[in-house]
A and B are shown apart, each in its own frame.
Chain A
Amino acid sequence: MTSDVTRPSAKATMGPLASLAERVGIHNLSLILALVVLLIVFGSLRGDVFFSSRNVLNIGMGVAILGVLAISQTAVIVSGGLDISVGAIVGLTTVTTAMAIEATGLAAAGPAAGLIVGALAGLFNGLIITYGRVNAIIVTLGTMAIFRGIAFIISDGQSISIFNDTFRLLGIGRFLGIPAPIWVLVGVALVFYVFLHLSVVGRNVYAIGGNPVVARLSGLNIRGYRLSMYVLSGCVAGIGGVLLAARTGSGQPISGSEGLELEAITAAFLGGCAMQGGKGTVIGALLGVAIIGVLNNGMILTGVPTFYQMLAKGSLLILAVLLAEYRLNRT
């Protein structure tokens, strides 16, 4: 699954390595390399548990929610924006999901409430950013607090338990031995891959992020596209909230507050996004997520203290953006 845009080159004279780099993309190749290095480091330190199937699934579970958020964040960044309210939307939607199930007793009410509230939150972000012409970072910084506040208000600051076993299958059920959240991640990844890389609408998102002047003069509705990306981002954060509620069996207003947006944005930039927009891939985001997941898991297994884990994650974000800037200046 590589994007089919390539540089022209003398294909006949290319060695196998160069041809691989061409197919996978030099950037993705370097991410895979970084991942391999991490695997070797943690594998040699804790070979006893690190490669066990249980731990691999653990990593997968750990990054399922982060994965969907990183993918939708990539779409937002490609369009020329940024959404740092996604963690708060996850928290808010765990609460609305739990409340909906509690009120109706229906399993299906949970995902519906999560997705709708997530989309509404995204719409709120998008309307202010596109019609108010306010910087996306500032707006979503503000709404981050607003959404978190709403979550606390409607839940009265309490955790709301979910006693619906059908709904909880979404979090703890398995299909073909693989936990349900990982299937959801695969599904979201496929949908976004087709959307961003293969569909006309998705390619137009690259155009508006890459050069708004060209996009406007080509008759694209930039405002509409940008707005849709925030709605999409909110909706996907809703999916994250539903998964989290199903896994923990509760709606907690505080959930998703431990740097989930930071990790999602880090993964997107690791994956090749550029702050200016117009750049980024789903595959790259997934590789970025894998790096963060392996790093998180490995640091826990090797007993790195929590405080230092935070240090490492923050540094990773800055490193990712530094790399992105470096790439930009080189071309």
Chain B
Amino acid sequence: MSTAEILTLKGVSKAFGVVQALDGVSLDLRAGECLALVGENGAGKSTLTRIIEGVFAPDAGQLLLDGKPVQFSGPRESHRAGIRVIHQEPEIIADVSVAENVFPGALPARLGGLVDRARLHARTAELLRLFGMEREMTPTQICAGLGPAQRQMIEIMRAVHAGGRVIAFDEPTSSLTGEETERLFAVIRRLRADGVAVVYISHRLAEVVALCDRVAVLRDGKMIDVVPIDETSEEDITRKMVGRTLTEMFPGRAPPGDATVLSVRAMTTEHVSDISLQLRAGEVLGIGGLVGAGRSELARGIFGVGARLAGSVELEGKPLPSGSPGDAILAGIGLAPEDRKHEALLLMRSILDNAVLCIPDRVSRGGLFDRRRAEGIVAPIAERMRVKAPSLHTQVSNLSGGNQQKVVLTRWLARAPKVLILDEPTRGIDVGAKSEIYRLIADLARNGLGIIVISSEMGELLGLSDRILVMSEGRITAELEGAAMTEDAILRAAMPSGHAPVFDALQGETP
């Protein structure tokens, strides 16, 4: 195994506004090596990837390619230098063939500018054979019907034929089955053997330990440690990732009450199956699981987005009709969706307009909007939520992620709901605002609200919840309470059934 450094980062820093996303990070990517990049959400992994890919320029520090300083003005330049990122959502051209997808912008030509299809298909077939994918796809197949694993493979082949020397995989197994994961590992090992510097970004430490040669741990924008995989363990990596003690971030909590506010019985929708859960007043119920496990779909099912195929949802003993978010709101349920910008907020409108969206009856007089009355309702709540803005008339798009989330919370509190469902409430929010959101959640629970928090962040889930449900493949696979709430237990229950044996085997290997 060669250890020639292809790409080196030296003291790279990057800030977005007041958030220091990367702080003096140094790292080297070596030919024929698989380097794991791990860290909690918001630790700076994506920023680091984007700097390597040339999407962002670093504020300070240097990138060295083969020892020479380089600056990429964009992904096109980094691609030319042989640096590729295989994204979580592979970009493909839906209505053209596999072969044309592998060679976009680089179709082999014959005399007269016509596509040399024989050569195009032969080269694609060769690549497919090289990675053992010849049974999965044919060069002439249209890409529209391909699954995530095959789409990912197309991006990999794109990178390889273009002479990719550094290939970074961003959470590559998040939508793969166990078998597909195994095959991807074979492909990555093949790339490594061919001298590619592989960067493997993943939350799944078992995979990291099984596949990678070194592991780099990021936390709050700083490179905490880079160690050979033989000299560390999953527990050690986790400790380095989480770092701070969780109690600093999460306020103390009062024990939940005894009254059940929300009760879901055997709910089945198009996306989730046989969901049963009880939520008590003053309780924070965490829902964990991998992306795509059906957590947001569960929230939507309760809220009544789309029809329920079976089962019932009752709020304080009264059944909620299926397929009617309006009735859910009237009954006292609020939902803050994961995608704030697209699903929760009218970005071009003011804080006030956004906050009164669910209380049209209370802010109109004779059918006309009564601004003064609206301000009277919203102002005290916004103050309690500590929304930081010049005025209630500030356009929401000008607010930070944390303040935008507080506007969403303000909207729901104006309705005084009994149950609030928060889907990834701190996604894209900096650490300071995060702890404020945590405090608000604890506050609301203390006042008797039942709260469901969906989160991909282990620390958040463990720190906030009284109880945790774990989902996998559209079903609830575990209910954890008290001392049983551990990262390990969540991960174990979150793995799709196909993964479980692999995971167990890997656990055995770890020292």
- B-contacting residues of A (Cβ < 8 Å)? 4-8, 194, 198-201, 203-204, 206-207, 210-211, 213-220, 274, 278-279, 331
The CA of A216 and the CA of B95, in the complex, are separated in Å by: 17
Chain A residues, Cβ within 8 Å of B107: 200, 203-204
The CA of A103 and the CA of B186, in the complex, are separated in Å by: 73
Q: Which of A206, A213, A331 contacts B144 (CB 8 A)?
A: A331
- A-contacting residues of B (Cβ < 8 Å)? 75-76, 79-80, 91-97, 100-101, 104-107, 109, 113-115, 117, 137-138, 140-142, 144-145
The CA of A215 and the CA of B79, in the complex, are separated in Å by: 13
Pair B117/A211 contact, Cβ less than 8 Å: no
Chain A residues, Cβ within 8 Å of B141: 5-8
Pair A194/B95 contact, Cβ less than 8 Å: no
Q: Which of B79, B93, B138 contacts A207 (CB 8 A)?
A: B93
Q: Which of A7, A201, A213, A219 contacts B91 (CB 8 A)?
A: A213
Residue of A nearest to B145 (CB): A331
Q: Which of B100, B114, B138, B144 contacts A8 (CB 8 A)?
A: B138
With A200-B109, A219-B76 given, name 12 new contacts (CB 8 A). Answer: A5-B97, A200-B114, A203-B107, A206-B96, A206-B100, A207-B93, A210-B96, A215-B93, A215-B105, A278-B94, A279-B94, A331-B94
The CA of A212 and the CA of B398, in the complex, are separated in Å by: 28
The CA of A160 and the CA of B144, in the complex, are separated in Å by: 51
Report if A206-B142 is in contact (Cβ < 8 Å); known contacts: A199-B114, A215-B105. Answer: no
Pair A7/B145 contact, Cβ less than 8 Å: yes
> 21 A–B contact pairs at CB < 8 A?
A4-B140, A5-B96, A5-B100, A199-B114, A199-B115, A200-B107, A203-B96, A203-B100, A203-B115, A204-B107, A206-B93, A206-B96, A206-B100, A210-B94, A210-B95, A214-B91, A218-B106, A219-B76, A219-B80, A279-B95, A331-B94
- Tell me the minimal C-beta distance from A155 to chain B in angstroms: 40
Chain B residues, Cβ within 8 Å of A274: 95
The CA of A88 and the CA of B310, in the complex, are separated in Å by: 56
Pair B104/A220 contact, Cβ less than 8 Å: yes
Q: Which of A5, A6, A198, A199 has the most CB of B within 10 A?
A: A5
Pair B100/A207 contact, Cβ less than 8 Å: yes
The CA of A198 and the CA of B94, in the complex, are separated in Å by: 18
Q: Which of B80, B115, B144 contacts A200 (CB 8 A)?
A: B115
Report if A199-B113 is in contact (Cβ < 8 Å); known contacts: A4-B140, A213-B91, A214-B104. Answer: yes
Report if A206-B95 is in contact (Cβ < 8 Å); known contacts: A7-B142, A217-B79. Answer: yes
Chain B residues, Cβ within 8 Å of A5: 96-97, 100, 140-142
Pair B96/A207 contact, Cβ less than 8 Å: yes
Chain B residues, Cβ within 8 Å of A217: 75-76, 79, 91
Q: Which of B96, B101, B109, B140 has the most CB of A within 10 A?
A: B96
Pair A220/B105 contact, Cβ less than 8 Å: yes
Chain B residues, Cβ within 8 Å of A210: 93-96
Residue of A nearest to B79 (CB): A217
Q: Which of B95, B109, B137, B145 has the most CB of A within 10 A?
A: B95
Chain B residues, Cβ within 8 Å of A206: 93, 95-96, 100
Pair B115/A198 contact, Cβ less than 8 Å: yes
Q: Which of A8, A219, A278, A331 contacts B93 (CB 8 A)?
A: A278
Residue of B nearest to A201 (CB): B113
Pair B104/A218 contact, Cβ less than 8 Å: yes
- Tell me the minimal C-beta distance from A105 to chain B in angstroms: 38
Report if A4-B76 is in contact (Cβ < 8 Å); known contacts: A206-B100, A210-B94, A218-B105. Answer: no
Q: Which of B76, B94, B109 has the most CB of A within 10 A?
A: B94
- Tell me the minimal C-beta distance from A221 to chain B in angstroms: 9
The CA of A215 and the CA of B75, in the complex, are separated in Å by: 12
The 6 closest A-B pairs by CB, nearest first: A218-B105, A210-B93, A5-B97, A218-B104, A211-B93, A8-B138
The CA of A56 and the CA of B106, in the complex, are separated in Å by: 44
The CA of A213 and the CA of B79, in the complex, are separated in Å by: 13
Residue of B nearest to A194 (CB): B114
Chain B residues, Cβ within 8 Å of A211: 91-94
Pair A214/B92 contact, Cβ less than 8 Å: yes
Residue of A nearest to B94 (CB): A210
The CA of A259 and the CA of B126, in the complex, are separated in Å by: 50
Chain B residues, Cβ within 8 Å of A220: 104-105
Chain A residues, Cβ within 8 Å of B140: 4-6, 8
Chain A residues, Cβ within 8 Å of B105: 204, 207, 215, 218-220
The CA of A271 and the CA of B93, in the complex, are separated in Å by: 19
The CA of A177 and the CA of B397, in the complex, are separated in Å by: 66
- Tell me the minimal C-beta distance from A69 to chain B in angstroms: 23
- Tell me the minimal C-beta distance from A55 to chain B in angstroms: 37
Chain A residues, Cβ within 8 Å of B80: 219
Residue of B nearest to A217 (CB): B75
The CA of A203 and the CA of B97, in the complex, are separated in Å by: 10
Residue of A nearest to B108 (CB): A200
Chain A residues, Cβ within 8 Å of B138: 8
- Tell me the minimal C-beta distance from A175 to chain B in angstroms: 27
Residue of A nearest to B144 (CB): A331
The CA of A278 and the CA of B104, in the complex, are separated in Å by: 13
- Tell me the minimal C-beta distance from B168 to chain A in angstroms: 14
The CA of A274 and the CA of B101, in the complex, are separated in Å by: 18
Pair B113/A200 contact, Cβ less than 8 Å: yes
The CA of A315 and the CA of B16, in the complex, are separated in Å by: 51
- Tell me the minimal C-beta distance from B346 to chain A in angstroms: 21
Q: Which of B79, B91, B93, B96 has the most CB of A within 10 A?
A: B93
The CA of A116 and the CA of B109, in the complex, are separated in Å by: 30
Residue of B nearest to A277 (CB): B95
Q: Which of B96, B97, B113 contacts A278 (CB 8 A)?
A: B96
Residue of B nearest to A219 (CB): B105
